[in-house]
Amino acid sequence: MKRIVTMQDLSCTGKCSLTVALPILSAMGIEAAVLPTAVLSGHLGFKDPSVTDLTERIPSILDAWRREGMIFDAVCTGYLASWRQVDIVRELYRSFGTKGALHFVDPAMADGGRLYRGVPDSFVDVMRQLCAGADVSMPNITEACLLTGTQYRENADAQYCADLAKRLAAQGSLRVIITGFSSSEGSIGAVSYDRETEELSVYENKRMPASFTGTGDIFAAVTEGAVVRGYTLGEAVQLAVDFTMLCVKKTLEDPDHRWYGVNFEQALPSLIHWMEEHKGAERL
């Protein structure tokens, strides 16, 4: 069984970050270890969440892991609570990765043309350095623009996203996925680029008539799990897009759904079935 460590925040309420990554990776047949960067009462979609930065506590966790000889096939990062946590990520790379361990970076810091509340402008440079060492970086369009110094465009076409991906790859990322791409009002998907093979791919699914927090975290977790399980980047992106849209569809079918996250739990059986029954990319 493959083993992943995912380093991101724990939101006690709201379906995002670790509370979606852990069950999704487990459903994909992967042992998932978690390294919380912060504990939030609820994600940033709530009005005034409490936030506890865990930077000072993480070294003792790593010391305990080191004594136990823990190693991982992949290191995955999401929301980081401080710039000092980038050094912790590098320590994970150095001391806890198997030979050939994969490094995934979801630079969770911005959306809709602006940084998240409480994230300083200086954090962009820190995240740029982290993405430069990634095997796979997965920014949304806003984050990709910030990381490359590109003017943000709300209605981004495939060529625009492809250029963003190539610029990020030129900065060091081996493979880049730009999420949130849409060629029309009725579709949404992702653009991916592999620097080694120069392969560029675009994949979209039907856009659901709603938007929820946490869908980016779902996409990242599925992508990470699929790549670690041996799927190509294109296959992983297709699965992640389709599963994310299935989660939104399940949510909208529930008349009592909450505003703060999607009903990903109801879509997990489909994900498990896909992983068990299919070897290549196929729509859910």
Give the model confidence (pLDDT) of 76-134 as tens digits: 999 999 999 999 999 999 999 999 999 999 999 999 999 998 889 999 999 999 999 99
Q: What share of the chain in percent tops pLDDT 70?
A: 98
210 in any annotated domain: yes
Q: What is the pTM of this model?
A: 0.93
pLDDT at position 47, please?
A: 86
22 in any annotated domain: yes
282 in any annotated domain: no
7 in any annotated domain: yes
Sign of CA dihedral 176, 178, 183, 186: positive
- Torsion angle of alpha carbons 140, 271, 1, 138, nearest 10°? -10
Range(s) of the domain holding residue 186:
3-277
284 in any annotated domain: no
How many structural domains compose the chain? 1
Q: What share of the chain in percent tops pLDDT 90?
A: 80
40 in any annotated domain: yes
Half-sphere exposure of 172 (CA within 13 A, CB side): 12
283 in any annotated domain: no
